[in-house]
Amino acid sequence: MLKTLVLALATVTSAAIAAEPAEPASMATPGSSATGRVLSISLEEAVQLALKKNFTIEIAKMEPKAASERLTQAKGRFDPIFDFGYSQGEATTRDQFRRDAAGTGGHFEFNAVSQSRTFSTGINGVTAWGLGYDVGASTRTRSGSFNSFYEDVDSELSFSLRQPILRGAGTDVNLAGVRVARNNVALSEWDVKQRVMEVITDVIETYNDLHFSHENLAVARRNKALAGQLLRDNIKRVEVGVKTPLDVTTAQAEVAAREEAVITAQRAVKDQENFLKQLLTRDMIPMLGARIRITTPPAPGFIENVVAGIGRALELRPDYRKAKLDLENRRITLVVEKNARLPRLDLTASLAMNGFDDDFGTSAQRAAGRDQTNWTAGATFSVPLGNREARGRVNAAQIDIAQSLVNLQRLEQDIVVRVDNASGLVTTARQRIEATTESNRLAKESLVAGEARLVAGTGTTFEVLELQRKVAEAETAELRARSDFNKAVARYHLQVGTTLQIHGVKVD
């Protein structure tokens, strides 16, 4: 009866402790039909592929181009404007009522026909100092009954200037839009760097999580295999009368429990593979069936120096550089608003020179000789009474600057805390590696001793199974500590802003 029970237990157990299927060896590239295939990739290859295929980076790279176009738009305010005009017209008075001298009657008579053509051209615009200019030339040809339909040509050269003295004067005001647009280009470039750094960090963390999942799956399989081996040994011990069927049942239950751990670990591997695929490819559907084979992530070097790290962060962190550019833009806006609070005082001058003749060429030549000259010079002054709108805008701009300064100080403090915490996490992870490595070594020694006691008859199946679980837990803890160390270093470089330099990435 006992032998029959043992054989039945052995049959039930055989499926549970079957060997795992071998990994497929074929290769695939992203974007191909990848079902059942394997993509082998190193960490640096994953980083480079993510930088080429990531959607968010592609979107971010468009913004500097748009900002550059807005800079061109701001500079376009100072482009001269060329204009040309032509008009033609006729005025005809066919009948006009005339009274006689006595005022007792009258008659209608044909009066006059007047025809004209006008050509005009010129260039006008504004300079960076606020000077407005308009240079033009025009020709007007008149003919009609008043001159027996011979053409009279009037050519004119004209010049006019308007120079603000108070409001609207100077490059600080007139180039403000260009300076803000140029700062916005730099802002968008720092945005791209921030996104690239985040993607690199995401890839490193996901890659390490996938490596941990693979190793953890191997631990779960080894742990299950240990329980299976113990089950087979106990079956033999029961056959020779050394152990009871309870020892077989206990081991069999543990095999089933550890099978669940293997299933869970397999699911974690697939999830992490999908997370990594999402970072590496633009087309997920062909990659859903692919497997990813990775190498062991290299252990990065790290030298703790919080003060130096804070200094680098204040120099390289995109969010801090963006905050400083934002403050500069607000200061530019304040200059403009303060200028807009001033009264308007503009100096004006104009000169027109006319030449008269019966043809265009001669008329134009005589315009330079100034058959007729008109000039004006003067000034205009205006100021809004109360000027509350301008004063309110200045006060609001000053408050914006105060807010930006406080935000910059808050960010500086946040950087100090985050860099120190990130450095501390790296140190802690390193210490965890040392502790878990020692714990793993001792757990394995304890298992060897427990197995020896079981063979000698002084140990129990329950004790050995418990020691096996502790070995698995110790191995997992060590793997987690090593993975956390790699991720902590990557997160530290993100906080300090040195991610691009560490990985040799240049953002154009």
Per residue in 231-249, pLDDT (tens digit) is 888 888 888 877 788 888 8
Q: What is the mean predicted confidence (pLDDT) over 20-40?
A: 50
- Residue spans of the domains in the chain: they are 40-70+178-329+399-502, 89-126+131-167+345-382
| CB contact at 8 A, 349 and 374 | no
Separation of alpha carbons 443 and 391, rounded Å: 75
| CB contact at 8 A, 304 and 420 | no
Q: What is the pLDDT of residue 193?
A: 93
In Å, what is the CA distance from 447 to each residue of 178, 225, 441, 450? 73, 14, 10, 5
Separation of alpha carbons 177 and 67, rounded Å: 12
pLDDT at 52 over 90: no
Per residue in 378-437, pLDDT (tens digit) is 999 998 888 888 899 999 999 999 999 999 999 999 999 999 999 999 999 999 999 999
Q: What is the pLDDT of residue 147?
A: 65
| CB contact at 8 A, 353 and 156 | yes
Q: What is the pLDDT of residue 110?
A: 56
pLDDT at 207 over 80: yes
Separation of alpha carbons 447 and 185, rounded Å: 63
Q: What is the pLDDT of residue 106?
A: 57
Q: What is the pLDDT of residue 98?
A: 60
Is residue 346 exposed (0-12), middle (13-18) or buried (19+ Cβ within 10 Å)?
Answer: buried
Per residue in 318-363, pLDDT (tens digit) is 999 999 999 999 999 999 999 999 999 999 999 988 888 777 777 7
**pLDDT over 90 for what percent of the chain?**
57
Fold of 40-70+178-329+399-502: Outer membrane efflux proteins (OEP) (1.20.1600)
Average predicted confidence (pLDDT) for the chain: 85
Q: What is the three-class DSSP state of 175?
A: coil
Per-residue confidence band for 16, with pLDDT thresholds at 50, 70 and 90: very low
Q: What is the mean predicted confidence (pLDDT) over 196-211?
A: 94
Separation of alpha carbons 290 and 269, rounded Å: 12
Residue 129 or 247, more confident: 129
In Å, what is the CA distance from 150 to each residue of 92, 106, 138, 238, 366? 16, 31, 20, 135, 19
Per-residue confidence band for 102, with pLDDT thresholds at 50, 70 and 90: low
Tallying the residues shown for the chain, one arrives at 508
Per residue in 247-292, pLDDT (tens digit) is 888 888 989 999 999 999 999 999 999 999 888 887 778 778 788 8
pLDDT at 14 over 80: no
Per residue in 426-462, pLDDT (tens digit) is 999 999 999 999 999 999 999 999 989 888 888 888 9
Residue 168 or 106, more confident: 168
Q: What is the mean predicted confidence (pLDDT) over 59-78?
A: 91
**pLDDT over 70 for what percent of the chain?**
88
pTM more than 0.75? yes
